Amino acid sequence: MTRHPTDTPQFYLTAPSPCPYLPGRQERKVFTHLVGSRAQVLNDVLTQGGFRRSQNIAYRPACENCRACISIRVRVDDFRWTRSFRRLWKRNADIVGSTSEPAPSSQQYDLFRRYLDARHAHGGMSDMTVLDYAMMVEDTHVETMLVEYRRRGPDTFLNGRGTGPLLAVALTDRLSDGLSMVYSFFDPDAQSRSLGTHLILDHVERARALGLPYVYLGYWVKGSPKMDYKARYQPQDHLGPRGWFPASSPDDDPVD
């Protein structure tokens, strides 16, 4: 049985593989295991240092000739609610997100599969089984939660939960200084709702209610259409060689 040290993290480097964001480039990652009693503290430190979490692994790009992946976080207290954001928030006023422990369900997996088949049919996660999904959700040693989004029901004001079919799910880590959106997916048929945007706006408000200053959105890659949407959430900080710094914001009001 493989044993992973829990007191002093060991870091490893992956072999080169095709970059999923920029054609013709190779990517490498440095990673470590998030296990044991110090996993939460380590996840905090590493996320603030530009790492991302996948199950009990923390990783970040370590490409030899490329620095295109930039860690970003949204500044909650100064968040700019554009006109299009406000319209979208009002459009989805009938949706509520309820939090729970990271426990997988058949409803989640069904929605997850529909999302992958519609949005990422040829991506690296396209062949994930129900067991793979369960591991993604519950294989964690850090403080994390699931947020399930459904329509508001007659008892929502009492129990805080929605009713009806599952519309979206977010797997989110709680850090000392923010919320880190690990992975999210949503109903691909509800295009008019722009649920991906709604989930990020909802996390900004959740972080605000918790008194947390940041929402971590992972990596932004300039020139990658897959990542363009992340530039919309302003103001935000980017992580550079000397630490986090305020990034310049677009001048125009984003359109849904």
Helix (H, G, I), strand (E, B) or coil at 95: strand
pLDDT of res. 127: 84
pLDDT of res. 249: 63
Cα–Cα distance, 134 to 106 (Å, whole number): 10
Q: Is residue 6 in some structural domain?
A: no
- On the 0-12 / 13-18 / 19+ scale of CB atoms within 10 A, 137 is buried
User: Which residues does the chain have with pLDDT short of 70?
Assistant: 1-7, 249-256
pTM score of the predicted model: 0.90
Same domain for 212 and 157: yes
The tally of domains found in the chain comes to 2
Cα–Cα distance, 181 to 31 (Å, whole number): 18
Same domain for 87 and 192: yes
Q: Is residue 210 in some structural domain?
A: yes
Q: Are the C-beta atoms of 250 and 231 separated by less than 8 Å?
A: yes
Q: What is the pLDDT of residues 240-255, one digit of tens each?
A: 999 999 997 654 444 3
Cα–Cα distance, 256 to 247 (Å, whole number): 22
The domain in which residue 80 lies consists of: 73-246
Same domain for 62 and 32: yes
Q: Is residue 197 in some structural domain?
A: yes
CA distances from 80 to 44, 85, 158, 195, 251 (A): 26, 9, 31, 19, 12
Same domain for 54 and 92: no
pLDDT of res. 181: 97
pLDDT of res. 48: 96
Q: Is residue 7 in some structural domain?
A: no
